[in-house]
Structure 1
Amino acid sequence: MEIAPKKISDIFNIQEVGDRNYWFVRTSSGKFYQDFVLHDYIAIGWDFISISDFNSTKINTVKAMIKQNLALDPDNENVTDTKKKKGEITGIYNKIKRFIKEFTLNDVVVIPDVNSENYSIGIITSDVFEDSSYIKKYLDNDPDTEMNLCPYAKRRSVKWLKTISKRNADIYLLKALGSQHAVSDVKEYAPYINRNLYDIYSSEGKLHAIIRAGTDEKSISFSELKQLVDLIENELKRADANCNLDDLTMKLNIHSAGIIELIAGAGGLSLVLGTAMFSLNHLINGGKTSMDFKLDENGLPHFSVSSESPGLRGRELEKIKLEYEHQEKILKLSSSLNLQIPQVQLTDEIENPVKEDIE
């Protein structure tokens, strides 16, 4: 079957990341991390100011309330210096303002556990609300719980998408999150958050594909890195022999477990990159669908889809004469580097095409 799509989303199910905010919310040194994750929410303190009070009261009045109740700061900071106290009051006001006014639906939120050994990343799914009876209701249902239940009233519901450990996280992401305050705007670190959240995604007209290689016990050698780059280039050329690789950007984060991020602009190169990742993933992990890509005389992309693609992992390697040497090289490098290729899936229209009636 041959298809002539207009854009990459016509072929692949790829996460499209729009314009959104990114927030970091602390969990009282990890005390409430488990409660947040297991019960799908985040919360902040300073309960002496309700949502209604904050929305209907002048700024100076709110700050006066904070000044009077500074001892109720959830971080229990004992501020005595007048200048520092004024700065602390403004800081608390800004944290509350962000949580109530600036957090919005579909924003990304990141929270750390004890000692920041793990980070959970999720999407905000509700407007701000208050629940001052949460602990009572919980204990009525589970009086023997040993969980540290969060008493803070101001809350937002969250759909948690992924938890990453410090040992496996992007080192640049760890540096970015390590010095954040209780409630922080971390949108400038969105590229690092997104590449830890997704293996492949589209943002601002560009396709990002993330390949992970190496382990904590084994670093990537120069020779292996060269082989990997050659492999990627070869798969791109197999997808489209005429593609211009000068328009492809590569970002490397090569530590023990490294990250290779490939970024392609809108148009044909994104389709080429998506096709290359799809093919490479299926060569390594196995699958039931294979694809060929080409441009017609008008520069429009066309895909040829066939039904079987023998996998190489988890089953005996089939000795296909024309492909054996190439596939064996891929499998060997994949095993050596513990390659993790983006899981690219076809859209339903491509996976299960509707057959036209034949009159």
Structure 2
Amino acid sequence: MEYEVDELIQKYNLPIVQLDNNRNYWLVRTNAGAYFEEFFTENYIAVGWDDFTNFDMFKTKKKDESITKELAEAYPKEQPGRIYGQIHRFLYEMKIGDVVMIPSENSTLIRFGIIESEPRMRSISDTRIDEGACPYVKVRTVKWIKTVRRLELDPYLFRMMQSHQAISNANDYAHFIDRTLHSFFIKNNKAFLVLPVKKEGDIPAYDLIRFVDSIIDLIPLVNDIKGIEQEFEKEDLDLKLNVQSPGFTEFVSNAPHLILGIGLLLIFLTGSKFKGISSSDEEYEANFKGLFEDEFKNGIDNYEQIKNRNIENFSRVKAELPEDIKKLLEESNREG
């Protein structure tokens, strides 16, 4: 019997995220960083132009001439059409479940969150505004999930940060954002496994090739996992590399079961003890009760050799198991 992807994730308690194909991505400015911490600590984002609080005025994407005239009178130094578009975007284009990013001053930090509410009005006292609080009254609730330093930001996202509108659509950067937030995920019927590479300086080609080969060589073992009855070939796995410091290797497949299987095997093989893989050189003794039946382990020829090879090759390039997989290992250790 072959398990469906959902069943396999549940059976092995895999830390893999299934992403909504339709979610959108937004960059929201914070007044040059002035409201960055407030947005974070109070779990919201906001948009200005507070003279206009009637949401119905901005319901259609087509700009009403009477409204743009009012905007021009209220904000003579700004383009009324742009203001209308920004307010409409905040009120009606953003959706619950969308990803939002906010930059700090000079974009030294980028915070990522998930929109959790429809837009609403809030009240704020003049005293708080005088003390430097954000005065904007049109807000949405956000659950913040990750903070990334600019130096660690995916280089493909740098171009996105050049936009200076209050709210910018970032859908063109969706995949780069997804792999920043998640290291083990499924989207559009494709599966992705992103492994951080922390070795500084040049990485010898031999070490990198050995590391990649040790992952690819797991594919025949995936075919032996119970519940995965497809037969995969090495050609079914794609690879993307960015091994600048810090960097990553991204394994991709149109066959989600293949990536699931590789993720399982990495947990199984390197998770039992991976000193040298974690940047802090901590040792983890995994205790995955029921993760694999004993006969699976016993059925792997040269099991110890394969395990040691993976651990050694991870260490050569200072690759790491993704944080979400390491957390699962830690939880298992505590339960054991």
TM-score by length of 2: 0.79
Matches of 1:322 and 1:17, distance apart in 2: 37
Matches of 2:106 and 2:25, distance apart in 1: 21
Matches of 1:253 and 1:51, distance apart in 2: 47
> 1:38: which partner in 2?
41
> SS where residue 261 of structure 2 aligns?
helix
Whether the 8 Å CA contact 2:59–2:92 is kept in 1: the answer is no
How far does the alpha carbon of each residue in 1:188-214 deviate from its partner, in whole angstroms, 9 at most, with x for none? 211000000011111111111101102
Whether the 8 Å CA contact 1:15–1:202 is kept in 2: the answer is yes
**Greater relative CO, 1 or 2 (CA 8 Å, sep 6+):** 1
Amino acid at match of 2:117: S
Matches of 1:265 and 1:227, distance apart in 2: 24
Matches of 1:97 and 1:67, distance apart in 2: 16
Amino acid at match of 1:334: F
Matches of 1:177 and 1:209, distance apart in 2: 25
Using the TM superposition, name which of 42-51 and 249-258 deviates more: 249-258
> SS where residue 167 of structure 1 aligns?
helix
Q: Does residue 67 of structure 1 match 2:72?
A: yes
Shift of 1:20: 0.6
Whether the 8 Å CA contact 2:112–2:144 is kept in 1: the answer is yes
Matches of 1:116 and 1:304, distance apart in 2: 45
Whether the 8 Å CA contact 1:214–1:257 is kept in 2: the answer is yes
Matches of 1:162 and 1:279, distance apart in 2: 27
Residues 154-173 of structure 1: pairs in structure 2 closer than 5 A: 154-173=138-157
> 2:191: which partner in 1?
207
Matches of 2:161 and 2:319, distance apart in 1: 26
Q: Which runs of 5+ in 2 are unaligned?
A: 225-230, 275-283
How far does the alpha carbon of each residue in 1:311-345 deviate from its partner, in whole angstroms, 9 at most, with x for none? xxxxxxxxxx9544444443333334221223449
Q: In structure 2, which of residues 120, 138, 149 is the aligned counterpart of residue 129 of structure 1? A: 120
Shift of 1:262: 0.9
How far does the alpha carbon of each residue in 1:163-196 deviate from its partner, in whole angstroms, 9 at most, with x for none? 0011111111222333352211111211000000
Q: Does residue 305 of structure 1 match 2:308?
A: no
Matches of 2:237 and 2:87, distance apart in 1: 42
> 1:298: which partner in 2?
none
How has the CA–CA distance of structure 1 residues 90 and 112 changed in structure 2, closer, same or farther, with 3 Å as cutoff? same
How has the CA–CA distance of structure 1 residues 306 and 130 changed in structure 2, closer, same or farther, with 3 Å as cutoff? farther
Whether the 8 Å CA contact 1:220–1:256 is kept in 2: the answer is no
Whether the 8 Å CA contact 2:58–2:87 is kept in 1: the answer is no
Shift of 1:5: 2.3
> SS where residue 203 of structure 2 aligns?
coil
Amino acid at match of 2:262: L
Shift of 1:9: 2.8
Using the TM superposition, name which of 178-187 and 266-275 deviates more: 266-275
Matches of 2:327 and 2:25, distance apart in 1: 29
> SS where residue 54 of structure 1 aligns?
helix
Whether the 8 Å CA contact 1:214–1:256 is kept in 2: the answer is yes
Amino acid at match of 2:3: P
Q: In structure 2, which of residues 239, 262, 269 is the aligned counterpart of residue 273 of structure 1? A: 262
Matches of 1:234 and 1:331, distance apart in 2: 14
> 2:285: which partner in 1?
286
Matches of 1:54 and 1:199, distance apart in 2: 41
> 1:91: which partner in 2?
82
Q: In structure 2, which of residues 207, 219, 236 is the aligned counterpart of residue 247 of structure 1? A: 236
Q: Does residue 174 of structure 1 match 2:158?
A: yes
Q: Which runs of 5+ in 1 are unaligned?
A: 72-77, 80-87, 292-302, 310-320, 352-359
Whether the 8 Å CA contact 1:44–1:155 is kept in 2: the answer is yes
Whether the 8 Å CA contact 1:66–1:89 is kept in 2: the answer is yes
How far does the alpha carbon of each residue in 1:20-69 deviate from its partner, in whole angstroms, 9 at most, with x for none? 11111010111100000111000010001114352479722221121012
Whether the 8 Å CA contact 2:47–2:137 is kept in 1: the answer is yes
Whether the 8 Å CA contact 1:51–1:100 is kept in 2: the answer is no
The structure with the largest strand share of the pair is 1
Shift of 1:248: 1.4
How has the CA–CA distance of structure 1 residues 60 and 263 changed in structure 2, closer, same or farther, with 3 Å as cutoff? same
RMSD over aligned CA atoms reads: 3.2
How has the CA–CA distance of structure 1 residues 306 and 161 changed in structure 2, closer, same or farther, with 3 Å as cutoff? farther
Matches of 1:106 and 1:134, distance apart in 2: 30
Residues 207-226 of structure 1: pairs in structure 2 closer than 5 A: 207-215=191-199, 217-226=200-209
Matches of 1:9 and 1:306, distance apart in 2: 20
Number of aligned pairs?
Answer: 302
Matches of 2:327 and 2:311, distance apart in 1: 23
**Identity of counterpart residues, as a percentage?**
27
How has the CA–CA distance of structure 1 residues 346 and 167 changed in structure 2, closer, same or farther, with 3 Å as cutoff? closer
